[in-house]
């Protein structure tokens, strides 16, 4: 077990009631019984592994039953783990995973400041990463000054998190130059000062309500030039977007990252290449049930959606994409499902062109992101077929290759952004 010791000089003078060294924050309502069980489960382990650390778990109210007050320990006692409830203003709690977390981050940052905690671990409300090992991994680099933000490195199945692999990760990496595999979390460790910044984030001019925008810790770290480390986590989250249709998720998450790009061109246009940063913890080995089963993902419906889009959305795509890209898409439509592959460079340029159209408001942003959905499904079909016979490691290498192509194609994006003349190749 890694050591998680608070430097003596960072502690507030005197162990006042309510003080803590670290804060574990749950930014959205969670299941009460689950939280009850988890806190009880890890209290003893926490006390034995971190006898000098005072830790507070802050949660925004509880759904269902469960009484946490019995789990609290005397304030200020070392090796303690206790829970406090915080309130969010009416309507501030997010109804969609990933989104609208700024008010919760702000509240958690306030709590951390009040308690004198310098580092915070923000955990997904499903509490999949609520274990001493994960918490230690997330917090340790913050407390020893090696990082100001720790982001998770999960070990999901190769078919999981494809939106992240195909757009969010490579785009975020190319724009801000930080290789953060899961730039949105949901679990991450953060210094209190950086968490305060996250809490202040408001997405002006976005199509979604300000408070419903996605907050990207990795982006914020890049903007504030904070040091980022990645830690291998064993937590396995369930489907985050359950109940939401793909166009909605695309619209919210891709729209959110496009929106950030619109707000920060001064930063990302100066970034070239990317930095790997520090990676901590042991790689999590997991048997991937889908690893060798070719065709585990049925791509036929995706290709149908792509082809339908090709037929119906030509005019919309023509407003966004240059002729050479349109021609490539047209050629793709003539391929058999087995032959269907979207080249990485083409895919990266498509995303860049959509980001530009988003900025220029070439058409309604909702319609624009809706028009991206069939293209994305085409990419998923192409990618899924390509990695069908690869193991998880090789699939991960494939994502890295795509991310590198995003970086290589970035000058195309910058040039189009700066001089968005439609008379281009």
Partner 1 sequence: MASSPMEKRRLKQAGSMSDPLWYKDAIIYELHVRAFADSNNDGIGDFPGLLTKLDYLQDLGVTCIWLLPFFPSPLRDDGYDIQDYIGVNPSYGTLDDFKAFLEAAHDRGLQVMIELVINHTSDQHPWFQAARLAPPGSSERDFYVWSDTDQKYSDARIIFTDTEKSNWTWDPVAKAYYWHRFFSHQPDLNYDHPRVIEEVIKVMRHWLDMGVDGLRIDAIPYLVEREGTTCENLPETHAVMKRIRAEIDAEYGSRLILAEANQWPTDVRPYFGDGDECHMAFHFPLMPRIYMALRQEDRLPITDIMAQTPDIPDNCQWGLFLRNHDELTLEMVTDDERDYMYLAYSADPRMRINIGIRRRLAPLVDNNRRRIELLNSLLFSFPGTPIIYYGDEIGMGDNIYLGDRNGVRTPMQWSGDRNAGFSRANPARLYSPVVMDPVWGYEAINVEAQQSDQSSLLNWMRNMIALRKLFRVFGRGSLKFLNPANRKILAYIREFEGEQVLCVANLSRFAQPVQLDLPGLECKIPVEMLGYVEFPPITSQPYPLTLGPYGFLWLELRPAPEKEVPAEPIDGTSLHVSGLADWEGLLDGENASRIEAEILPEYIQRQRWYGGKSRKIKDTKIIDWGTCAAEQFALALVEVSYSAGAPDTYLLPLATTSGGDMDNLRAHSSGAILTLLNLPSGLGVLHDGIFDDRCCKALLSMMEQSSEIPTRNGVIRGLRSSILESLEGPQPELLQARRGSAEQSNTSIFFSDRLIMKLFRRQQAGPNPDTEIGKYLTEFTTFAHTAPFGGAIEYRAHELTGAITPASDADRTQTFAMLQGLVSNEGDGWQWTLEELDRYYEACAHSVMPASAAFREQVAREHAGIYLDAAAVLGRRTGELHLALARPSSNEAFSPVVFTPEDFQSLGKDLVDHAAISFDLLKESLSQLPDDVVESAGLVLSRRRIIFDRLRQLGALDVRTLKTRVHGDYHLGQVLRVRSDFVILDFEGEPARTLAERRAKQSPLKDVAGMLRSFTYAAFAALMKYTSRRPEDYEQLEPWARLWDEAVGAEFLRAYRETVAGSDVVPEEPQAFQKMLDGYVLDKALYELTYELNNRPAWVGIPIKGILSLSE
Q: Are 274 and 173 in contact (CB under 8 A)?
A: yes
Q: Are 119 and 190 in contact (CB under 8 A)?
A: yes
Residues 6+ positions from 263 with CB-CB distance below 8 Å: 203, 204
For partner 1, give the closer residue by CB, 340 or 417. Answer: 417
Residues 6+ positions from 90 with CB-CB distance below 8 Å: none
For partner 1, give the closer residue by CB, 54 or 365. Answer: 365
Q: Are 67 and 37 in contact (CB under 8 A)?
A: no
For partner 1, give the closer residue by CB, 338 or 419. Answer: 419
| Closest CB 419 distance from partner 1, rounded Å | 5
For partner 1, give the closer residue by CB, 311 or 422. Answer: 422
Q: List the alpha helices (DSSP H) in 123-212.
A: 132-143, 162-163, 169-176, 192-200
| Closest CB 344 distance from partner 1, rounded Å | 20
For partner 1, give the closer residue by CB, 9 or 421. Answer: 421
Number of other CB atoms surrounding residue 122 within 10 Å: 25
- Dihedral angle at the C-alpha atoms of 203, 208, 212, 214, nearest 10 degrees? -60
Helices 365-387 and 300-312: crossing angle in degrees, nearest 10, is 140
Write a three-state SS string for 41-75: HHHHHHHHHCCCCEEEEEECCEECCCCCHHHCCCC
| Closest CB 413 distance from partner 1, rounded Å | 9
Number of other CB atoms surrounding residue 91 within 10 Å: 12
Find how far residue 133's CA is from the centre of its chain.
Answer: 21
For partner 1, give the closer residue by CB, 295 or 411. Answer: 411
**Exposure string over 229-268, b if 16+ CB within 10 A, otherwise e:** bbbbbbbebeebeeeeeebebbbbbbbbbbbbbbbeeebb
| Closest CB 205 distance from partner 1, rounded Å | 9
| Closest CB 269 distance from partner 1, rounded Å | 6
Q: Are 375 and 310 in contact (CB under 8 A)?
A: no
Contacts to partner 1 by CB under 8 A: 204, 265-266, 269, 272-273, 411, 414-415, 418-423
């Amino acid at each position: 077990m890694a050591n998680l010791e608070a430097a003596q000089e960072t502690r507030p003078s005197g162990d006042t009631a309510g003080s803590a060294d670290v804060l574990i924050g749950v930014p959205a309502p969670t299941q009460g019984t689950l939280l009850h069980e988890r806190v009880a489960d890890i209290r003893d382990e926490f006390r034995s592994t971190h006898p000098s650390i005072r830790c507070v778990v802050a949660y925004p109210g509880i759904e269902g039953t469960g009484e946490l007050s019995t789990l609290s320990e005397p304030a200020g006692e070392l090796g303690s783990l206790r829970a406090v409830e915080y309130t969010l203003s009416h309507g501030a709690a997010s109804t969609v995973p990933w989104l609208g977390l700024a008010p919760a981050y702000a509240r958690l940052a306030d709590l951390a400041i009040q308690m004198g905690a310098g580092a915070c671990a923000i955990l997904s409300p499903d509490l999949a990463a609520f274990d001493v090992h994960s918490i230690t991994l997330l917090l340790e680099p913050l407390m020893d000054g090696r990082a100001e933000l720790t982001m998770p490195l999960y070990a999901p199945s190769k078919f999981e998190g494809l939106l992240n692999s195909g757009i969010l990760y490579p785009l975020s990496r190319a724009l801000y130059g930080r290789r953060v595999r899961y730039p949105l979390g949901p679990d991450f460790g953060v210094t209190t000062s950086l968490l305060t910044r996250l809490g202040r984030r408001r997405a002006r001019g976005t199509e979604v309500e300000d408070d419903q925008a996605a907050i990207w810790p990795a982006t914020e770290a890049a903007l504030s030039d904070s040091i980022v480390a990645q830690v291998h986590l064993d937590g396995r989250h369930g489907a985050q977007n359950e109940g939401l249709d793909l166009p909605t998720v695309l619209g919210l998450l891709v729209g959110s990252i496009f929106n950030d790009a619109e707000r920060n061109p001064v930063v990302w246009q100066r970034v070239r290449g990317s930095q790997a940063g520090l990676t901590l913890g042991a790689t999590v080995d997991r048997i991937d049930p889908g690893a060798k089963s070719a065709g585990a993902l049925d791509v036929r419906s995706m290709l149908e959606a792509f082809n339908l889009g090709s037929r119906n959305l030509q005019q919309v795509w023509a407003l966004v994409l240059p002729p050479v890209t349109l021609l490539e898409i047209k050629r793709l439509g003539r391929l058999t499902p087995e032959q269907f592959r979207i080249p990485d460079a083409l895919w990266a340029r498509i995303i860049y062109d959509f980001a530009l159209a988003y900025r220029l408001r070439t058409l309604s942003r909702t319609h624009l992101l809706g028009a991206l959905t069939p293209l994305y499904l085409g990419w998923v079909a192409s990618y899924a077929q390509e990695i069908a016979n690869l193991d998880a490691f090789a699939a991960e290498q494939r994502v890295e290759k795509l991310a590198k192509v995003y970086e290589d194609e970035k000058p195309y994006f910058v040039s189009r952004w700066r001089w968005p003349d439609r008379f281009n190749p």
